[in-house]
Amino acid sequence: MLVLAITCLMGWGLLSAPDLLRSAQASPIGARRTVAIAVLQPFARLSDMLGLDRLTVGTDRVLGHDQPAAVGPPVVHVPFPTAASSSDQETPTSAPSAVPDPGGLAGYPYVPLLTPPTSLHPLSVLIVGDSIGIDMGEGLSRLLDARGPFRPRLDGHESTGLARPDFFNWPNQLARDLRQDHPGLVVAMMGANDAQNFLIGGRLVSFGSAAWAGIYRQRVSGLMAEVTESGHPMIWVGMPVMGSGSLSAAVKLINSIALSEAVLHPGVAYVDTWSLFVDGKGHYAAYLPDASGRKELVRTPDGIHLTPAGGDRLALAVWQSLRTLWS
């Protein structure tokens, strides 16, 4: 039985090695990541040589695990608060002096207006982002499908962001998406995985430092420019408040950089979502009232991601901002 258990464990390890290696590569830079990659790389190579990774992909395809989750019917949306509490207005280091209204646009005067979409000329909307961007994107796709002549496409990738181009290169991916889709509008939401150190030329750049902020600002600016220089307007969706106080502080810095760059880039609008997920005291809330006043779960137990109801809540804020581009 022991031999059988060990054999099964080794078989599972070989089958799962490529996924485990990708997870390790996406983890924060440090000794744990280095050791994990060193241990998993031989197993991943062996899995590739034996074709076990293709077996896993084929099985997922047969079972439908490689397909996006089924889209449910639209839910009733919540009217969002129109004023942020004092805690929402706290300005992190490097934040611009002006903060947009909740769910509103920053830099709107510079955003080119879109032609109102029609059935003959629907608006193609490319949605990109990390796992929270996927939560938002699924909600926005449902909403756009229900609202009229839109062609939304979601290109989301878990554990990604702008901090680790060695793991996933968003500028390259976005360039491919733009060439393939020719969208009329790009909606981006990422940053939850970016609260980590950089490794630049073998030198560690600590998160939150002036050097880190400068590098991250260049990466955000580059992604925005990639969209606008190709003639597409862009909506950048800020990160919501997090269940962890330390992560909330980190994404406040990330949001402030994205906001300040959106203001500087003609053609980019910024949607502030912070106050959409706080209670009456400005604190993180996992449950919030729906349109009828009943509490609904809007955040997952990890305090980071959004439930379908939370994704719909956020999508409505993006929709309200998007609508202004042709009204």
Mean pLDDT, to the nearest integer, of 31-54?
63
Percent of the chain with pLDDT over 70: 67
Mean pLDDT, to the nearest integer, of 274-281?
94
> What letter would DSSP give residue 184?
S
Whether residue 136 contacts residue 189, with contact meaning beta carbons closer than 8 Å, is answered with yes
Here the tokens at position 203 are 């030198």
User: Is 300 a residue whose pLDDT tops 60?
Assistant: yes
Question: Which one of 81-90, 93-102, 248-257 scores highest in mean pLDDT?
Answer: 248-257
CA angle 191, 192, 193 (to 5 degrees): 90
User: Mind listing the pLDDT tens digit for each residue in 2-20?
Assistant: 777 666 666 656 566 555 6
Mean pLDDT, to the nearest integer, of 120-141?
96
| pTM (2 d.p.) | 0.71
Distances (CA, A) of 250 to 19, 169, 197, 203, 211: 27, 22, 12, 21, 15
Average pLDDT of the chain is: 78
Instruction: Write down the pLDDT at residue 33.
Output: 54
User: Is 108 a residue whose pLDDT tops 50?
Assistant: no
CATH code for residues 86-323: 3.40.50.1110
Mean pLDDT, to the nearest integer, of 136-144?
97
Instruction: Write down the pLDDT at residue 100.
Output: 39
Report the distance separating Cα 268 and Cα 214, nearest Å.
20
Instruction: Write down the pLDDT at residue 88.
Output: 35
User: Is 253 a residue whose pLDDT tops 70?
Assistant: yes
118 versus 58: the higher-pLDDT residue is 118
Which residues touch 278 (CB under 8 Å, ≥6 apart)? Answer: 85, 87, 88, 241, 284, 285
> What letter would DSSP give residue 294?
-
The domain locations on the chain are 2-63, 86-323
Q: Are strands 198-200 and 268-271 parallel, antiparallel or unpaired?
A: unpaired
Instruction: Write down the pLDDT at residue 114.
Output: 82
Which of 115, 103, 11 has its CA nearest to residue 56?
Answer: 11
Alpha helices in 27-103 (DSSP H): 31-50, 52-63
89 versus 312: the higher-pLDDT residue is 312
